[in-house]
Amino acid sequence: MAVTGVPSNGTSWTAGEQVPVDITVTNTSGGYPGLRPSAATLTNHEACRWQWMAPSSPQTCAGRAQYVVTEADVEAGAFTLSVTYSAYSQRNDQGESRVIGTGSVTVPVSVSQDPRDPNDPVVSGTIEVVRDPPADGVYKLGQVVDYR
């Protein structure tokens, strides 16, 4: 899971504020199960489902799930994003289902960073190209590049 926005005041999440969350899921089995969330601390997480998912193919549900910050979160200084997924033995959420795992992350309410200090980022990440480049090594204008 990844928080994809910043607090509206730029420094801390406040009670009632919606935190945008992207969810990335990878099928590590050899089959093509349907995957859907069965529990979460998020809203709109129900849309983050796949009728079937190819093995070893990360899929991201972007721009749908959110977390609503509570007063208790503000008082505690952090909140926990959590989602549990179930897999279905057949495509389109058919067949037997079983819980396959829960992902969770704790997010601080306050965001602090001196933007002049690149050695102390609040969030860091790596972009990895998941598809080999063209044979000639040159991407064409408008060509889609898959990354994670």
Q: Where are the domains of the chain?
A: 2-108
Pairing of strands 18-25, 2-3: antiparallel
Q: Could you give the angle at the alpha carbon of 20 between the alpha carbons of 86 and 142, nearest 5°?
A: 90
**pLDDT given at position 97:** 84
Q: Is the pLDDT of residue 123 over 50?
A: no
Q: Is the pLDDT of residue 19 over 70?
A: yes
Side-chain-side CA neighbours of 25 within 13 Å: the count stands at 26
- Among 80, 77, 66, which Cα is nearest to 23's? 66
Secondary element (H or E) of residue 74? helix 71-76
**pLDDT given at position 128:** 54
Percent of the residues in the chain that have a pLDDT greater than 90, as a whole number: 32
* pLDDT tier for residue 125 given thresholds of 50, 70 and 90: very low
76-115 per-position pLDDT tens digit: 999 999 999 888 877 777 778 888 888 889 999 987 655 5
Q: Which CATH architecture has domain 2-108?
A: Sandwich (2.60)
Q: Is the pLDDT of residue 33 over 60?
A: yes
**pLDDT given at position 129:** 53
